[in-house]
Structure 1
Amino acid sequence: MGDLLTIAMPKGRIFEEAAELLRKAGYQLPPEFEDSRKLIIDVPEEKIRFILAKPMDVTTYVEHGVADLGIAGKDVMLEEERDVYEVLDLKISHCYLAVAGIPGAKVQGVAPKVATKYPNVASSYFREQGEQVEIIKLNGSIELAPLIGLADRIVDIVSTGRTLKENGLVELERITDITSRIIVNPVSYRLKDQRIDDLVERLSNVVDGL
């Protein structure tokens, strides 16, 4: 099975929406595909192996070649800056990165403290705005930071805005829109170009028809 394609995908919403696109593109995935708790799922009929990973790890797997392709959010790609090719916008899992904070709150100290799990994106954004900030990296529950006085603002993903509202925060600035993309390992693209191009073309036809 030298033409086996290995695809890294994040669990959760992106995984479910991507699986639906693959089915629409004619790929025969088992009915229990989305419910599996396995971290590696083989679909021998399609000569495809799926690796289920944390969203932030997908680009790492693809860059290092343990996965030929991956499905990753643009937020992860901007943050990680990995050596991979971005070949298709799947236009799924729409959201955006934004700056948020407590309405009317005054900045404590000279430079505002910004909590985020996207330190590179946040640093770049505020640098472009000509604003000096102190970045505090967190891995989860970013909305908590302003509420306990750890940070003045946050940079995080916003989907519906409900989480911000429920925690008394408001959106202050919109940074960039986010969707999920197909990324490819450069070496895999040379060795398995026909199979990869076929998959991308089939998915592209589905995406264009949405």
Structure 2
Amino acid sequence: MAQPLIIAVPKGRILAEALPLLAAAGIRPEPAFTDKDSRALRFATDVPGIELIRVRAFDVATFVAHGAAQLGIVGSDVLSEFGYSELYAPVDLKIGHCRISVAEPAAMAESDDPRGWSHVRVATKYPHITSRHFAARGVQAECVKLNGAMELAPTLGLAPRIVDLVSSGRTLKENGLVEVEVIEEVTSRLVVNRAAMKTRAQVVPLVEAFRRAVAEKEAA
């Protein structure tokens, strides 16, 4: 019996935007997928031989890169951070718009000029993106790795600045922080395991289906 084709989708805010694209590409998950009480992580779809797994956004890239899933939906921030050579990102899905930014306390920002920085200490879950960005500017970056609650770092003295995803900016504002520099704009991408693209016949037609779904959404 052939192994099912597995698509990894992220938990959280991107999922709501991804589901209509999945449907437009002809893939709808079983009802349990939208059951808030369900603890299941793997789901059937209305396409025989295609299943979905729901995992943390950062883990989508890992599942697909290592071949545990053949396709996935993941933010370009994750691709930039991990740089997996096993991944191919053929379609910008044009969802999950946000940015990776440097932020600091509003009081500090009043007299601070990023152009004058020579050394920075930042809390972030993006140490590779952060280091590359500052190295390109000739700034030495000391990164404190956190997986969440980044906004607490400046107020509790862990690091005076943070590098994090910003969407509306509301969370920064509520924690007394302001953006002082945008590192990169972020959207979600369809990613494919390179080996699976060559060996699994369903993959290329699926990529084309997603490409059409994005084009139709943009044209609407």
Structure 1 and Structure 2 fold alike (TM over 0.5): yes
Partner of 2:94: 91
The verdict on how the C-alpha distance between 1:146 and 1:190 changes in structure 2, with shifts beyond 3 A counting, is same
TM normalised by structure 1 equals: 0.91
What are the Cα deviations for residues 1-40 of structure 1, in whole angstroms up to 9, with x where unaligned? 5263111111122222212111122324334433343111
Aligned residue runs from structure 1 range 1-210, under 5 A: 1-2=1-2, 4-35=4-35, 36-43=38-45, 45-83=47-85, 84-105=87-108, 111-192=119-200, 194-210=201-217
Contact 1:15 1:34 in 2 (8 A): no
Q: Which amino acid aligns with 1:133?
A: A
What are the Cα deviations for residues 57-105 of structure 1, in whole angstroms up to 9, with x where unaligned? 1111111111111111111111111121111111111111000001342
Contact 2:92 2:189 in 1 (8 A): yes
**1:111 Cα deviation from its structure 2 partner:** 3.0
**1:208 Cα deviation from its structure 2 partner:** 1.1
**1:179 Cα deviation from its structure 2 partner:** 0.8
Unaligned runs of at least 5 residues, structure 2: 113-117
The verdict on how the C-alpha distance between 1:28 and 1:51 changes in structure 2, with shifts beyond 3 A counting, is closer
Mapped to 2, the partners of 1:63 and 1:50 lie a distance apart of 16
**1:170 Cα deviation from its structure 2 partner:** 0.5
Contact 1:85 1:186 in 2 (8 A): yes
Q: Which amino acid aligns with 1:97?
A: I
TM normalised by structure 2 equals: 0.87
Mapped to 2, the partners of 1:168 and 1:40 lie a distance apart of 39
Mapped to 2, the partners of 1:44 and 1:161 lie a distance apart of 38
Contact 2:4 2:49 in 1 (8 A): yes
Mapped to 1, the partners of 2:190 and 2:154 lie a distance apart of 34
Contact 2:153 2:162 in 1 (8 A): yes
Contact 2:42 2:53 in 1 (8 A): yes
Unaligned runs of at least 5 residues, structure 1: none
**1:209 Cα deviation from its structure 2 partner:** 2.0
| Root-mean-square deviation over aligned CA pairs | 1.8
SS in 1 for 2:140: coil
- Give % identity: 46
Aligned residues: 207
Mapped to 1, the partners of 2:2 and 2:16 lie a distance apart of 27
Q: Which amino acid aligns with 2:52?
A: F
